[in-house]
Amino acid sequence: MNSPINTLQQLMTITMEECGELTQRCSKIMRKYENINDIEEDQRIKLMEELGDVQCMIELMIDHGVVKHKEISDRSQVKKDKLKKWSTLVDTEDLLRYTEGTRMDDAYAYYSHTINRENK
């Protein structure tokens, strides 16, 4: 398929659009629900879809050499360290509780996929 804009423009434009859609979904959930456990399944699925779209664009930026996975991973750790100081989101006990059988399994699959790509 031919595009009227170049690769960089496509990556940036589509990423902006996907981030905007994720922002909108987060806003809708915030307006409707007070707690994580209150989120209805259809809304959780819509959120997951938007998160997946943004993750796809991040992976495409890595694939096209805009950024490296290690750079993103390093920056992610910097942000987590800041959140430990300014937020209750990063709590060691909570992380251990929520990662068993879920997030860490997903993270392992994602990182394995990414590392294989970086070693091309």
Q: How does pLDDT run across 4-35, given as a tens digit for each residue?
A: 899 999 999 999 999 999 999 999 999 999 99
The boundaries of the domain holding residue 45 are 1-67
**Backbone dihedral angles phi then psi of residue 55, each to the nearest 5 degrees:** -60, -40
Helical (H) or strand (E) element with 23 = helix 7-32
> Residues 86, 48: one domain?
no
Q: Please state, in angstroms and rounded to a whole number, the distance separating the CA atoms of residues 77 and 44.
A: 26
> Residues 108, 72: one domain?
yes
Helical (H) or strand (E) element with 110 = helix 104-118
> Residues 82, 56: one domain?
no
Q: How many domains does the chain have?
A: 2
> Residues 95, 48: one domain?
no
* pLDDT for position 102: 54
Q: Please state, in angstroms and rounded to a whole number, the distance separating the CA atoms of residues 69 and 49.
A: 22
What share of the chain has pLDDT > 70, as a percent? 76
**What would the pLDDT profile of 59-68 be if each residue is shown by its tens digit?**
999 999 999 9
> Residues 55, 73: one domain?
no
> Residues 35, 60: one domain?
yes
The pTM score is: 0.74
Q: Select from 48, 67, 86 the last residue of a domain.
A: 67
What share of the chain has pLDDT > 90, as a percent? 68
> Residues 45, 76: one domain?
no
